[in-house]
Structure 1
Amino acid sequence: MELDNIDFQIIRILSENSRIQWKDLGEQIHMTGQAVGNRIKKLEDSGVIKAYSLIVDEMKVGLFFTAFVIIYMKTANHDSFIRFLNDRYEVVEAHRVSGEACYHLKIKVDSQETLNLFLNKILDYGNYTLYLSIKEIKLQNPLTAT
């Protein structure tokens, strides 16, 4: 699917507020709500829009620590490790990477004890390097940047 300027405007507005009414979105880009709905449906059907998400205030739900874990696998069999990652609520992002390590994880935990328990389980699969986040600097979607 080839995207035009209107599609990019719709994506930008939806990335700022995915719950916006089609009519209200249409007013911003000078289209009817029905026309906007048809465009959104095409974007969803073609896979351009994969999902809608929710941003949670992590402090209010008790997730205080953000950490980045670099994994160095002990074995070439990664299937059980991937299953482990998929079952862990602490894992926010997991990336298979090139270079020296095998995986980079972004995790969020509520305490040092939870972090230690998670890291102990990682040792079943390989070694790790841990980096704690001390301040989040940027939380802006590149599609909304001007």
Structure 2
Amino acid sequence: MNIDRLNSKILKCLQENARQSNAEIGRQVGITSPAVSERIKKMEDLGVIEGYKTIVSPFEIGYQLRAIITLRAFMGKLKPFLEKVKTYDEVINCYRITGDENIVMEVVLKNQKHLENFIDQLIVYGESKTQIALSHVVKQKAVKSL
């Protein structure tokens, strides 16, 4: 889909606050509420807009640690891991990557013991490395239209 200037502005508004009304978005971009609605629907239908969600603070609901874990899978263990990782509640993001490691995961954990137990589950799939995240530098940054 060709993202024109108006659609780009609408996407920016939605990424800043997906709960704002079409009327409010229309005021910001200079078109009517029905025109905003029509453009949003078209972008949803074409897969430009993949969905809407609520972002929850893991720390406010009891998680004390956020970590980045990389995994270098053992021979024959990557495909089984790709299915298993989907079942881990701790994993909030997971990417299959190029380079020495195969996987990068972002995980949230209750405490150090929880981290130790989680790493123990990974041992059968490969060699892991863990870094504890101290803070967000860039968080949920909006994707800019080309």
After TM superposition, the structure 1 = structure 2 runs for residues 1-146 of structure 1, keeping only pairs within 5 Å, are 1-143=1-143
2:97 and 2:73 map into 1 onto residues whose CA distance is 12
SS in 2 for 1:137: coil
1:137 and 1:81 map into 2 onto residues whose CA distance is 29
For structure 1, list consecutive stretches of 5 or more residues without a partner in the other structure. Answer: none
1:72 and 1:98 map into 2 onto residues whose CA distance is 11
Letter in 2 for 1:16: E
TM-score, length basis structure 1: 0.92
TM-score, length basis structure 2: 0.92
Letter in 2 for 1:78: L
Letter in 1 for 2:88: R
Deviation at 1:143, TM superposition (A): 3.4
Deviation at 1:60, TM superposition (A): 1.1
Letter in 2 for 1:43: M
Misfit runs of 4+, over 4 Å: none
Q: What is the alpha-carbon root mean square deviation over aligned residues?
A: 1.4
For structure 2, list consecutive stretches of 5 or more residues without a partner in the other structure. Answer: none
Question: What percent of counterpart residues are identical?
Answer: 26
1:93-137 deviation digits (Å, cap 9, x = unpaired): 111111111111111111111111111000111111111112222
